[in-house]
């Protein structure tokens, strides 16, 4: 197909999103068992919704806030970063963003010049690859070690550094694998960044969803990394606030005004109604977060048990966090073409999953399954898969 001459090279190069394509196809299947969205299926807790309604009723949301966000929200975020992430943050070092995604985009824009290389451990959230491409940077995809539960390959990461490398961008707990990068690996990643004077951009969207007693580690907590890290967070997952589009980032005081130069043309400010909702979320009772974590851990266990019964069709690493897992497809044809395999599962078994190829080339031969769903959905999906694979 010839290229539409109106469109920039940057955008034209970006492929269709397999995630959105699978969602579109899934809508055409009646009574589908839907395991393809990384989106909490529970609704936002009532006290947060109420705070949004109250802010609207009281006429507090009709204007812009400061570009960096409401001062009282930044104050509350600074307290949370100190308490939960070990990041000693001043409110002036925080920008409230339109989800983690806008924060990461603004950080990439602020740090990456055309042709600069950004290292991404893969498989990873495909949007990160696109964010680098949109900044005319060059994504350098470094495979993680699947045989060790998709752990970082630090030697490969070190070898991937060139004079053009500007940054490392990773998410932990990871989408799509659910891997929680251990603290010692992130400390080594920090050493590599310091040796080569690289920036590190983190996506910590799933920070509260870690299982089996693991602890989430923020690389931004390392004092020697202060000038090197942009840490990006979100309310989306923690409080099931997907549609509110609200997140935040932390960076050192000198970098913040530069990131702000990218944030303003993208957003001016984050939606003010959502900022009030976020303020209620972060200062309110946190038992909803514990409840989500407990549910996801239970659903992780259930999905693993159900996958064990399909051991001739899939091999998997048990995810330590997030609400996603990334089984390998054992069927040779599926291993070659995960998109075709997922389409087949959708039309023939009425189970919707996401093809692994959407998460970078090493993701081919896998599928992503979400366990942020009710228990019945997992049973429905796996009953169908067992019937389909004849086990």
Burial class (CB in 10 A: 0-12, 13-18, 19+), 382: buried
User: Is the Cβ of residue 109 or residue 349 nearer to ligand PLP in the bound state?
Assistant: 109
Q: How far is the CB of 204 from ligand PLP (least distance, A)?
A: 9
Q: How far is the CB of 323 from ligand PLP (least distance, A)?
A: 9
Question: How many beta carbons lie within 10 A of that of residue 327, not counting itself?
Answer: 21
Q: How far apart are CA 185 and CA 168, in angstroms?
A: 14
Q: How far is the CB of 205 from ligand PLP (least distance, A)?
A: 4
Question: How many beta carbons lie within 10 A of that of residue 28, not counting itself?
Answer: 9
User: Is the Cβ of residue 161 or residue 171 nearer to ligand PLP in the bound state?
Assistant: 171
Residue 214 structure tokens: 């693991």
User: Is the Cβ of residue 106 or residue 310 nearer to ligand PLP in the bound state?
Assistant: 106
Going by C-alpha positions, the residue among 364, 353, 352 that lies closest to residue 328 is 364
Q: 3-state SS of the chain: helix, strand, coil percent to 5?
A: 45, 15, 40
Contacts of residue 139, defined as CB under 8 A and 6 or more positions apart, other chains included, come to 117, 118, 120, 128, 129, 132, 133
Bridge partners for 165 per DSSP? 117
Positive or negative torsion for Cα 309, 312, 314, 316: positive
Mark residue 154 as left, alpha or beta (left: phi above 0; alpha: psi -120 to 50; beta: remaining).
Answer: alpha
Q: How far is the CB of 171 from ligand PLP (least distance, A)?
A: 4
Residue 314 structure tokens: 């899939």
User: Is the Cβ of residue 74 or residue 350 nearer to ligand PLP in the bound state?
Assistant: 74
User: Is the Cβ of residue 65 or residue 242 nearer to ligand PLP in the bound state?
Assistant: 242
Q: How far is the CB of 144 from ligand PLP (least distance, A)?
A: 14
Task: Output the residue with the shortest Cβ distance to ligand PLP.
Answer: 99
User: Is the Cβ of residue 174 or residue 378 nearer to ligand PLP in the bound state?
Assistant: 174
Residues found near ligand PLP in the complex (CB under 6 A): 38, 99-101, 125, 171, 175, 203, 205, 234, 236, 242, 247
Q: How far is the CB of 125 from ligand PLP (least distance, A)?
A: 4
User: Is the Cβ of residue 221 or residue 236 nearer to ligand PLP in the bound state?
Assistant: 236
Q: How far is the CB of 202 from ligand PLP (least distance, A)?
A: 10
Q: How far apart are CA 265 and CA 255, in angstroms?
A: 17
Which helix (H) or strand (E) is 183 found in, with range? helix 183-195
């Amino acid at each position: 197909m010839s290229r539409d001459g109106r469109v920039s090279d940057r955008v034209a190069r970006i492929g269709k999103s397999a995630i959105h394509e699978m969602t579109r196809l899934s809508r055409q299947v009646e009574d589908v068992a839907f395991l393809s969205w990384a989106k909490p299926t529970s609704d936002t807790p009532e006290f947060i919704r109420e705070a949004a309604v109250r802010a609207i009723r009281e006429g507090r949301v009709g204007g812009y806030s400061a570009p960096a966000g409401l001062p009282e929200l930044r104050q509350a975020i600074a307290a949370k970063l100190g308490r939960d992430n070990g990041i000693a943050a001043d409110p002036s070092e925080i920008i409230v963003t339109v989800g983690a995604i806008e924060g990461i985009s603004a950080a990439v824009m602020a740090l990456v010049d055309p042709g600069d290389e950004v290292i991404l451990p893969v498989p990873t959230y495909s949007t990160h690859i696109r964010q680098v491409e949109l900044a005319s940077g060059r994504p350098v995809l470094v495979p993680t070690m699947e045989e060790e539960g998709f752990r970082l390959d630090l030697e490969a990461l070190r070898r991937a550094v060139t004079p053009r490398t500007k940054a490392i961008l990773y998410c932990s707990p990871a989408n799509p694998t659910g891997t929680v990068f251990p603290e010692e690996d992130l400390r080594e990643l920090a050493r590599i960044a310091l040796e080569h004077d690289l920036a590190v951009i983190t996506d910590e969207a799933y920070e509260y969803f870690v299982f089996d007693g693991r602890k989430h580690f923020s690389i931004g907590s390392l004092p020697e990394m202060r000038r090197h890290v942009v840490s990006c967070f979100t309310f989306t997952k923690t409080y099931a606030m997907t549609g509110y589009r609200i997140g935040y980032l932390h960076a050192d005081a000198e970098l913040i005004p530069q990131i702000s130069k990218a944030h303003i043309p993208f957003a001016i400010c984050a939606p003010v109604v959502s900022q009030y909702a976020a303020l209620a979320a972060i200062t309110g009772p946190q038992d909803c977060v514990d409840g989500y974590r407990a549910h996801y851990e239970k659903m992780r266990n259930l999905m693993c048990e159900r996958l064990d019964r399909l051991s001739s069709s899939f091999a998997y690493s048990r995810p330590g966090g997030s609400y996603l897992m990334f089984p390998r497809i054992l069927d040779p044809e599926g291993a070659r073409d995960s998109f075709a395999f997922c389409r087949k599962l959708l039309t023939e078994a009425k189970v919707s999953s996401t093809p692994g190829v959407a998460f970078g080339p090493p993701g081919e031969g896998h599928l992503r399954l979400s366990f942020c769903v009710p228990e019945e959905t997992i049973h429905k999906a796996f009953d169908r898969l067992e019937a389909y694979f004849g086990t």
